[in-house]
Amino acid sequence: MSGQSWLSQLKEHKIIAVVRAPEVSLTRQLALAVASGGMQLIEITWNSAGATELIAQLRVELPNCTIGTGTLLNLQQMREAIAAGAQFLFTPHVDPVMIKAAVDIGVPIIPGALSPTEMVTAWSSGATCVKVFPVEAVGGVRYIKSLRGPLGHIPLIPTGGVTLENAKEFLQAGAAAVGLSSQLFPKEFVETGNWEAIAQKAQNLIQTIS
């Protein structure tokens, strides 16, 4: 997937569902649930059990979704993720070597940054977008709004503090998209296997931001 194609999808869908679970079957079920609720952009964290196999499987099971991965810490993990079929890559940090490698291969990479210096470094290194993580720790919506003046040319994706209630505020403040994880998967729904309720949460969020 080209960087331009990724940015077009972000503009259209605006939400990335971040799926993380200790068992492959559960991670798969959570991904299927949010997809049935209308989520198109799904991130399987690399530290989920069986992430390699699951990414490849979901590419087949959810052909209309874009399946990527996150929490990539080094070049080796990134290469394994790309080989598994990951269509976009998130990292929690800025690593110019990883960014260049992803750009050379042609896979969108979104490094995590917190300060303006890190964001500009990531962007200058070729990042497709920049993940602002953890955004809650530095002011949430107000921080994104304050960044848009000097860094309006950089597409920002806040995570780590985005909720069902404030997702629209982040987008209105200038975020290109938002990433949500636990907010989409309430513990009681996961423990009882209430996949329909999770799908409904995803659907409600999509309607809220549209």
Is the Cβ–Cβ distance between 66 and 89 less than 8 Å?
no
Q: Is the preceding omega at residue 22 within 30 degrees of 0, hence cis?
A: no
Residue 194, classified by CB atoms within 10 Å of its CB into exposed (0-12), middle (13-18) or buried (19+), is middle
Distance (Å, rounded) from C-alpha 42 to C-alpha 207?
Answer: 17
Distance (Å, rounded) from C-alpha 205 to C-alpha 196?
Answer: 14
Q: Is 191 annotated as catalytic? A: no
Residue 102, classified by CB atoms within 10 Å of its CB into exposed (0-12), middle (13-18) or buried (19+), is buried
Residue 9 tokens, joined: 């999808």
What is the residue type of 67? I
Q: Of the residues 53, 80, 131, 145, which is catalytic?
A: 131
Q: Is 188 annotated as catalytic? A: no
For residue 137, count other CB atoms closer than 10 A to its CB.
11
Q: Of the residues 14, 43, 169, 201, which is catalytic?
A: 43
For residue 105, count other CB atoms closer than 10 A to its CB.
12
Distance (Å, rounded) from C-alpha 70 to C-alpha 42?
Answer: 10
Residue 155, classified by CB atoms within 10 Å of its CB into exposed (0-12), middle (13-18) or buried (19+), is buried
Catalytic annotation, residues: 43, 131
